[in-house]
């Protein structure tokens, strides 16, 4: 599994390629994606948890990593991560387990680095 920094760099470079291509549809989709997690009728924390569980049952490691970072940045704690993982596990079945293993690894990397709650991720929201 890639380190978090490596993941961030590759994501940023390729997002730039996609967004820099001038394709209006792709650009607008990325904007919609960012907006979907902003405070609204539901708050950002709930929405990021929704994004995390959706990513887990659809089994996309990069999306899971992204939403774990976002969740941590708005104060989701370890017990809450585990509760969200458990819903994903029950809905999505044992096929999600390898993603939970990599997920808890990411969670602990973030929580141990201490940056979690304090870090204010200002970058646009793109998986």
Which residue among 6, 9, 40, 124 contacts a copy of itself (CB under 8 A)?
A: 40
Cα(68)–Cα(19) distance, rounded to whole angstroms? Answer: 23
CA 54 – CA 77 distance, rounded (Å): 18
Looking at residues 68 to 107 of the shown chain, list those that interact with a copy of itself (rule: CB under 8 A). 77-80, 82-98, 100-102, 104-105
User: Per CB under 8 A, does 14 bind a copy of itself?
Assistant: yes
HSE, CB side, 13 Å, CA atoms: give it for residue 52: 29
Contacts of 48 (CB under 8 A, 6+ apart): 37, 67, 70, 71, 74, 76
In the three-class reduction of DSSP (H, G, I as helix; E, B as strand; rest coil), residue 61 is classed as helix
- Counting contacts by CB under 8 A, is residue 120 touching a copy of itself? no
* Pick 73 or 103: Cβ nearer a copy of itself: 103
Contact positions vs a copy of itself (CB under 8 A): 10-11, 14-15, 17-18, 21, 23-26, 28-29, 32-33, 35-37, 40-42, 46-47, 49-51, 53-55, 57-63, 77-80, 82-98, 100-102, 104-105, 108, 126-127
């Amino acid at each position: 599994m890639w380190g978090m920094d490596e993941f961030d760099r590759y994501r940023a470079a390729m997002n730039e390629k996609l967004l820099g291509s001038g394709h209006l549809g792709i650009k607008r989709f990325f904007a919609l994606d960012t907006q979907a997690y902003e405070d609204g009728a539901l708050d950002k924390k709930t929405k990021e948890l929704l994004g995390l569980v959706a990513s887990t049952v659809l089994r996309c490691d990069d999306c899971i990593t992204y939403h774990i970072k976002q969740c941590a940045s708005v104060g989701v704690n370890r017990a809450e991560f585990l509760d969200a993982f458990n819903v994903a596990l029950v809905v999505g079945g044992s096929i999600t387990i390898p993603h939970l293993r990599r997920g808890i690894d990411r969670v602990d990397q973030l929580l141990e680095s201490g940056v979690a709650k304090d870090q204010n991720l200002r970058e646009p929201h793109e998986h």
